[in-house]
Structure 1
Amino acid sequence: MHIDVLFTGGAIFAGAGEPLHGYAVAVTGNRIIGVMPEAEAQALASSGTRRVDLAGALLSPGFQDAHIHPISGGVESLQCDLTASTDATDAVRRIAAYAAAAPTEPWILGAGWSMDHFAGGAPTRALIDAVVPDRPVLLMSRDHHSAWANTAAIRAAGLSAETPDPADGRIEREADGFPAGTFHEGAGDLFDAVKPQNSADLIYRGLLRAQEDLIAQGITGWQDAWVGADGPGTGTIEAYERAIAEGQLLVHVVGAQWWERDRGVEQIPEKLARRDARLASGTADRFELGTVKMMVDGVAENHTASMIAPYRDAQGHDTCNHGISFVEPAVLREAVTTLDAAGMQVHFHALGDRAVRDALDAVTEARATNGPSDGRHHLAHLQVVAEADTPRFALADAVANLQMLWATHEEQLDTLTIPFLQEGAVQRQYPFGDLQRDGARLAAGSDWPVSTADPLAAIHIGVTRVGPGNGTPPLAGEHQRLDLVTALTAYTSGTAYVNHRDHDTGFIRAGYLANLVVIEPNPFELAPEDLYQARVRETWIDGSRAYARSESLRIPR
């Protein structure tokens, strides 16, 4: 047996179960060829074997992100990036600085402002007008469910007090009805006809920038939650295919084709054709399109997440607002049943409890109509889930796609969401523990650039339900915590299952691709409250080292 690379001297998390101790992992070419006792492995190694001393670190399968927007994140990092803003004043300062540094850009585009930095979660046009009065400015919020525009952008789009709210969105308004500057959900699309579209070159550079950053965080595969069609998905398929052609796509990707919510089942043949073209390309193992992304509702902080009970007003009284269902339940059921029959996976954005129920109803109907399938349909976000619905995930064979990082008390949740939900709703926030106990299969993702893509930061909160240095109690109670094994499993073999890549990734097993991450210190040797201290030391893809923190650089391939 010839061994190219041998990992020794640390614990091995194999993708499920407790870590192994006293074992080594042998790699030849791009594959793992064995997990064996260290003494046996050392005897098989030769002078040509590269030995990697883990020095007490943990070796794990590479992380996989089940819900991420990498190209958006990469592109936005190249534009007016507000993600590091500390408050409203800082956000405006950054806008002014970017505008001054880019005097020839006809529009200032970017993202990353935080709703909790502004009264009512709604920044005004006047704030931008004060620093950029002469050019249109359009900036997406951190969660990408709201847009912030200045007066020049509003006028360029031809919007006025007479402009009605679209069916899938809401315009914040001044006393006379004129747009105040914040546009929620589909209202942000009112600028699409006039704002500049990202160039193919910018989209491609954004992909490569994102890939570099994500590999440094131990991520070796992902599901891109919006490719094709309109908005951020425009040009993404072409960017991935260009990266493959140029030998630059190092990770494996599932592209979730965007479901156009103003259309119905007539769009399904287009999606099947894209999937089949990718399969025929011969490179679908690197990038495939067998998934459809259906956005069932919005988000709770702007009161567009679809809820069973109505939102309350600031005085605690019920309103008539239950949020927005972007896809009518009957259409949802028909579409999911048709997609399932065609062998497509459905990836749901389902945040409110009514959206979760509607999505589960659709999967249940597909199962009843078509019988069992290998669709591996999954519901992402799951902020509020009715107690009666957590057992339905296992019954419907639907995967719970967790964004663990959000499952903690923080200002946006505590000021813009919890006060406007029904009494007791805080106990139903991100019920990960209930889902696990009720037998749901778990996967994990970040939704980056909505929040950091760092799996270890998310795992810390999944295990503790408390952010580092946060003195608040665990969100929704200690019983909603996950143990470390479960959280790591969700981020490795759990997402590999969702991505239909559990046959060759997500585990450390003989025959599997050598997509590995070295984590130090070993998180299993840390107290739960110290998990955030764990960092990725190295990332290996196809048996080659793709990132090394100790060298402060990305390793060229």
Structure 2
Amino acid sequence: MADELIFHGGPVFTGAGAPLEQHAVVVRDGRIVAVVPETSVALPAFADAERVDLGGALLSPGFQDAHIHPVGGGIELLQCNLTEAEDAAQSAELIRAYAEANPEEEWILGGGWGMDHFPGGNPPRGILDEAAGGRPVLLQSRDHHSTWASTAAIERAGITADTPDPDDGRIVRESDGYPAGTFHEGAGDLFAAVRPATSDDLAYQGLLRAQDELIALGITGWQDAMVGADSGGIADPLAAYERAAADGRLLVHVVGAQWWRRDGGIDQVERMAERRERAAAAHPDRRIDLGTTKIMVDGVAENQTAAMLTPYRDDAGHDTCNHGLSFIEPERLREYVTALDASGQQVHMHALGDRAVREALDALQVARDANGDTDGRHHLAHLQVVAADDVPRFAELGAVANIQALWATHEDQLDELTLPFLQEGQVDRQYPFGDLARDGVRFAAGSDWPVSTADPLAAIHVAVNRAYPGSEHPPLGGEHQRLDLETALAAYTSGSAYVNRRDDDTGSIREGCLANLVVISPDPFRIPADDLHLTRVTSTWIEGRRVYTAPEPAASAPAAPARTASADDRQES
């Protein structure tokens, strides 16, 4: 007889709308074969099935993260990890402890430092010099848009006061022009020639560590937002995925977004399409899919590289000449997106500022005019600032809003490093999820881990409340920017399955879908919205097999602000 499971005794969120009550989900050979009233499974035909009593907990489709960097995140957990530091002093203590525990390492590598812990978001090299005893140190910021370097690292890279800023980045300098220790955006690439490469084995171990962490959060599939390129000393993660698949240790399904080199040209399109076809032939089970291309349209607001329609302001509140950076000229962006769309590649665009969002939507419009509706399922990630006029364009173009909901709250990095330097009134345009929902826009959801915690339930709490647990601030952008629980949960399940092109067999609880499931307790639909952060994943199932069971809960700890939630606080950078 086939292996058979019956989940019963709790509500069932199918991937959209209100949960079903008094229904059971029948699983056979790793797939859902029926969703039926609970009275049906009392019949003799189901007598031999293994029964999973939910005890009132919610059964949901497994979460899918639509924008994440698992291999890099896993590696950072194995290196000098600063995600638990709450200020500059704790960062220094963690660096010193790591240096003392690893005296054989010539370079100290890692990441997770918070920009809000340092004046202006710019940590100085002197802290590293003292804490690491003069060794070369390179540490990525939590958002991975800035690099913190020691004097020894700067010297080894040959960077001096005379080194110009690259076109796509900025060196923070001391009064004499010498690098102060912080390198924003593309300036971090000045260390590429001297930074030690990550070994294949470390990347593999990082992937396995990340998979364990993410499965414990109920994540059963994801879109890796940077495949096909080296970054921050980490080699292309595809090799780690391929090795894990060959070893039978890749449990989740992965869409790899092939990295678009912004200094490259249109010839990348053909290479990406060929790589996609090779992956499809090698993985008929779709465990690894390369049908997506990732394009960085702009930077981030906290270091003033997000592309804005209006200028940033200075410390005194005066307009500057800085509108942020468009990493690709808009004309070229339109050309590239049109070609990718025609080739069958989905386009995944990092678009954070309102000018970047407009440039991305303009590119999608040109692609649609040229190619018609190709069902590209293109998506724009982050969407920190969206002009009101551009909100309805998402639905018109079929563009998916790929949201990182955990960021949609007042917290130090936003309130101290971003909002004071934006124009008056732009606080009301921060992460306008409610506006997008009212215009019928599709949502997917992701974490950008290790930028911030990968915990979907933590992000859903913020999406619904627009505030982190215990916050005394009003909802960011106003009450009207909140999402209801059904919409937020759908974004992390059926919505992300849609952009991952896996909505045919994942992301929903219905007949024929893989039994990729998560059990959430207490049922989030039965508690006040303010208490959503108290929910947790109690078990995760992939293809009908239990792959995670939560330990008994420990005493609760004080909630951390969204951007500073730590990797081990369930859990990310």
Residue 365 of structure 1: how far off its partner (Å): 0.5
Identify the residue that residue 183 of structure 2 maps to in structure 1: 183
Stretch moving more, 350-359 or 38-47: 38-47
Indicate yes or no: 2:268 matched with 1:267: yes
Which amino acid is 1:343 matched to?
A: G
Secondary structure of the equivalent of 2:541? strand
Secondary structure of the equivalent of 1:427? helix
Q: Is the Cα–Cα contact under 8 Å of residues 513 and 542 in structure 1 kept in the other structure?
A: yes
Q: Is the Cα–Cα contact under 8 Å of residues 225 and 256 in structure 1 kept in the other structure?
A: yes
Pairing of 1:101-140 with structure 2 (within 5 A):
101-140=101-140
Distance 2:45 2:362 in 1: 54
Q: Is the Cα–Cα contact under 8 Å of residues 3 and 26 in structure 1 kept in the other structure?
A: no
Which amino acid is 1:313 matched to?
A: D
Distance 1:535 1:56 in 2: 13
Distance 2:210 2:373 in 1: 36
Identify the residue that residue 387 of structure 1 maps to in structure 2: 388
Pairing of 1:399-478 with structure 2 (within 5 A):
399-478=400-479
Q: Is the Cα–Cα contact under 8 Å of residues 3 and 46 in structure 1 kept in the other structure?
A: no
Distance 1:278 1:225 in 2: 17
Identify the residue that residue 143 of structure 1 maps to in structure 2: 143
Offset from partner CA, 1:322-358 (integer Å, 9 cap, x none): 0011011011000000000000000000000000000
Indicate yes or no: 2:77 matched with 1:77: yes
Q: Is the Cα–Cα contact under 8 Å of residues 200 and 235 in structure 1 kept in the other structure?
A: no
Identify the residue that residue 40 of structure 1 maps to in structure 2: 40
Distance 2:51 2:242 in 1: 35
Offset from partner CA, 1:353-380 (integer Å, 9 cap, x none): 0000000000111000000011100000
Identify the residue that residue 569 of structure 2 maps to in structure 1: none
Identify the residue that residue 51 of structure 1 maps to in structure 2: 51
Distance 1:241 1:340 in 2: 26
Q: Is the Cα–Cα contact under 8 Å of residues 8 and 38 in structure 1 kept in the other structure?
A: yes
Residues 44 and 225 (structure 1 numbering): CA distance in 2 closer, same or farther, change over 3 Å?
farther
Identify the residue that residue 527 of structure 1 maps to in structure 2: 528
Identify the residue that residue 328 of structure 2 maps to in structure 1: 327
Offset from partner CA, 1:234-285 (integer Å, 9 cap, x none): 2311111111100000000100000101112122222112111101113451
Identify the residue that residue 157 of structure 1 maps to in structure 2: 157
Distance 1:421 1:297 in 2: 16
Distance 1:230 1:249 in 2: 21
Identify the residue that residue 86 of structure 1 maps to in structure 2: 86
Indicate yes or no: 2:241 matched with 1:243: no
Q: Is the Cα–Cα contact under 8 Å of residues 505 and 515 in structure 1 kept in the other structure?
A: yes
Offset from partner CA, 1:499-532 (integer Å, 9 cap, x none): 0000000100011000000000000001000100
Q: Is the Cα–Cα contact under 8 Å of residues 134 and 151 in structure 2 kept in the other structure?
A: no
Indicate yes or no: 2:397 matched with 1:396: yes
Distance 1:301 1:2 in 2: 55
Distance 2:538 2:44 in 1: 26
Distance 2:408 2:521 in 1: 24
Which amino acid is 1:335 matched to?
A: Y
Identify the residue that residue 343 of structure 1 maps to in structure 2: 344
Which amino acid is 1:188 matched to?
A: G
Residues 44 and 34 (structure 1 numbering): CA distance in 2 closer, same or farther, change over 3 Å?
farther
Distance 1:550 1:133 in 2: 40
Distance 1:265 1:516 in 2: 40
Identify the residue that residue 315 of structure 2 maps to in structure 1: 314
Distance 1:11 1:84 in 2: 35
Residue 143 of structure 1: how far off its partner (Å): 0.6
Identify the residue that residue 555 of structure 1 maps to in structure 2: none
Which amino acid is 1:476 matched to?
A: G
Secondary structure of the equivalent of 2:267? helix
Secondary structure of the equivalent of 2:436? helix
Distance 1:531 1:176 in 2: 51
Distance 2:459 2:231 in 1: 27
Q: Is the Cα–Cα contact under 8 Å of residues 227 and 234 in structure 1 kept in the other structure?
A: no
Identify the residue that residue 24 of structure 1 maps to in structure 2: 24
Q: CA RMSD in A?
A: 1.1
Identify the residue that residue 300 of structure 1 maps to in structure 2: 301
